[in-house]
Each structure stands twice: as C-alpha cells, then as structure tokens.
A = this chain, B = another copy of it.
Amino acid sequence: MQRVLSDQLPRYVGETVTVAGWVHRRRVLANVTFVIIRDRAGLLQVVTTGQEAPAEEQVVSVTGRVVRHGGVELVEPEFTVLAQAEAPPVELFRPTVKASLPVLLDHAAVTLRHPARRSVFAASAAAVRAFRAALDAQGFTEVFTPKIVGSATESGADVFELDYFGEKAYLAQSPQFYKQTMVGVFERVYEVGPVFRAEPHDTSRHLATYTSLDAELGFVEDHRDVMAVLTEVIRAMVAAVREHGRPVDLPGEIPTLHFRDALRMVGAPEDEPDLAPEHERALGEWAAGTHGSDFVFVEGYPMRKRPFYTHPQPDDPRWSNSFDLLFRGVELVTGGQRLHRYADYLAAVPDPEPLEGYLEAFRHGMPPHGGFAIGLERFMARVTGAANVRETVLFPRDLHRLAP
C-alpha cells in the first residue's frame, strides 16, 4: 500500500491508509494507548486499545482507518516494526530538548530529530535556496572553487595546514580570490560552500568551519551597487525563514550609516579603527528603534582595518568603499568594492609571487567589482536567537570538537 504522509491524512478520512515514521511518543493509559508518529511532514496520532504498541524511536509503518476526532487520527492500527530502537539519550517528545549543549551535540544523530532542532535546519535550507534563487534571477552563475590551496590566502594566520602528496597545502579560508577571478569570466558569480578557519578562540561565536554564502559582481559603480544586490538577497532569505515561522524585521530600505557617524552615534573615540561588539549592539538597537529594522549597514570602514584588495573611498582614502551588514546588533556580512586595476594590486601586495594565479586576472583586464560573504550559521543564530552559533550547525567543528 502506498505510504501517506502525516500532512496528507485529512484527505483520507474514512479510508484505510498506511503511514510510516518514528514513534515520537507512546502514552499508555488504562484502556487506550496513544502513539504519535513522526514523519518528514510532521506528527500524527494513532489510537489503539489493547494491542501492544511500539516504544519511542522504533521505526514503524502503521495501517489503519483515518477518522476525524477533533483533529484527524488513525484508529484500529496494525503496526509493523521496520527497525528496533533503543531508548534515545534525550526525550524527543518533550516540547523543548532538555539537554546541555555538549549533550545535544554529542548525540546529534538523535537530538537533531527533535522537531525544534530539525526546524532550524529546515529554515536554514530554505534560506540557502532563497539566496541562490535571488542571485539566479539577477544573472549570477554558481561556481565551485578549490578548498585546498597552495598558499594561505587572506592572511597567514588561523589556517589549517595539510599534507598534499608530500607538499604543504592549506584549507581555503574563503573563496575570495577565486570569486573575484570568476568575475572576469561570468561577471556575476556566487558560491555556497565550506570555509575553514583555524580559530584558536573558544567562544559562542567561533567555528573552525562554516558555510559561507559568497557573491561577487562586476561593472559596479561602487560598493552601493553591491549593497543593493545584498539587500535583495537578504530580503529573499528573510522571506524564506518567515515562511518557517521565524519573524524578522526588514523595512523597504536598510538604514545605512558611515563608519565615522556610527562611531559618533555610539560615543566611541573618532580614531577607533573598528566597531566593538557593544558598539554593534548599540547600532542594532538604534536601527530597530528608529527604523523598525533588524538590519543596519555600516559603510566606509577605515582602510587600515580592511584587507589589501579593498577599494578606498575616492574622495577620502582613509575610508574604504566597504561595508558590514549588522543583523540584530551582530556583524553578519562583510563586503565592499575591490581594487580592479593591476597596478593597484602591485602597489597593495608586498609579495606578488604566491598570488600569481590571482593577479593574472587583473593583469588581463578586470572591471570595477565588489561582493560580499554571508555566514549561514551566523544568520541562522540571529534568526533563531540561539545563544551559541553551534546550535545552528548540524555537526559543528571547533577548537575542542571533531566528532560526531
């Protein structure tokens, strides 16, 4: 008999159908037993009298009659156990998972089955799909660039080293150089993939590897064109997570401050080179309070704090044509316009030799361009209000965690 999913059950009232899934909860009362079945579409209730019912996390198929009784439920069931199960390490039928973060992560194979845990990653998948769809609609091409590289890319620090057939190699900290190079081929590109940071920090914000949503586009006037594309991408991602029951405030336009004015607004000294976490929080509160926005752009960060490929602000080269996008008071995206002239790279790079393959793109003509990178887990942490970014990774990797 064709399997019916839990959310299709109302169509079959009065009929006999077969459902399948995990026993989410079994409640044995004096004269009746309630068995909640969990499948990929949700939960459904089976009611049985007398007969022995399978215990939690057993995988079963159930054939029974669909009746309307308040909601829709299955009665007169015949259970077939497809796979036995030992009792799970945490009770998955509770409304929230009662476990510490280490227990949650150590037993991810099972704890991720909890509807509240699962829903984070369903929303995350929807956000990634929205990221791609928004860029596909604007003429972007998806690319896949190397994760093993011959020279440490953006900086020599925090890089994982690797034995590559007897040579030293490194895990790519970002697709930055490759996505810029690909602007020379496709003008507009994006990549969704892992990036690797040997972060020696043990905080609630740091991961050793995460999913980076990267985009880069050519023929821009300046970084404002990049911010406009990013705004559309964020709008699509926000719409996607809203459909998964995660409200986010995003007005028609994202408020934008120059770095200089942002410092002034939060009462920081005017020679501060970067925004401290408490400054970012204050700016987030300002954006929420005055613009009803969970997002705020800060543009024009000082050149001395941005990477070498950053384009300066034409009218005042102390500042840059770069930006951060803060989401609920935390940096979510870094982006900006890049240098595009070969001569500018030769002036900016102390040793061009290890960057030869990258610089070749500029030697042979690259348009004004820019881009951005969104940290997927950081986005989902803000969306869900997770205290620790690890809650938004299926199997996180950090200073102390390499399993499961």
Contacts and interface: CB of A to CB of B under 8 A. Distances in A.
A161 B169 CA distance: 11
A368 B82 contact: yes
Nearest to A162: B162
Nearest to A83: B365
A74 interface: no
Interface residues of A, number: 92
A121 B147 contact: no
A341 B184 contact: no
> Looking at A89, A163, A364, which has the most chain B CB atoms within 10 Å of its CB?
A364
B109 A364 contact: yes
A182 to B, nearest CB: 7
B144 A404 contact: no
Contacts of A85: 363-365
Interface in A184-203: 184-188, 192-194, 196, 198, 200
A33 interface: no
Contact of A364 (B88, B182, B342): B88
A163 B118 CA distance: 32
A231 interface: no
A85 B108 CA distance: 52
B185 A3 contact: no
Contacts of A109: 181, 184, 357-358, 360-361, 364
A110 interface: yes
Nearest to A85: B365
Contacts of A224: none
Contact of A83 (B57, B193, B340): B340
Given A83-B367, A162-B161, A394 B200 contact: no
A113 B184 contact: yes
A144 B194 contact: yes
A330 interface: no
Nearest to A167: B402
A36 interface: no
A148 interface: yes
Given A84-B365, A110-B364, A194-B194, A142 B161 contact: no
Nearest to A377: B144
Contacts of A403: 149-150, 356-357
Contacts of A148: 160, 171, 196, 208-209, 397, 402
Interface in A132-160: 132, 136, 139, 141-150, 160
A53 interface: no
A93 interface: no
Given A162-B161, A365-B58, A394 B84 contact: no
A62 interface: no
B358 A200 contact: no
A40 interface: yes
> Looking at A58, A83, A164, A186, which has the most chain B CB atoms within 10 Å of its CB?
A83
A268 interface: no
A20 interface: yes
A164 B160 contact: yes
A208 B167 CA distance: 13
A82 B399 CA distance: 45
Given A82-B367, A112-B185, 17 more contacts: A3-B219, A57-B364, A82-B219, A109-B181, A118-B185, A121-B185, A146-B209, A146-B397, A147-B147, A147-B196, A147-B209, A150-B403, A161-B162, A165-B399, A194-B194, A356-B403, A357-B403
15 contacts: A40-B188, A57-B364, A59-B365, A83-B342, A83-B362, A86-B364, A108-B357, A110-B361, A148-B171, A148-B397, A165-B208, A181-B404, A193-B194, A357-B395, A357-B403
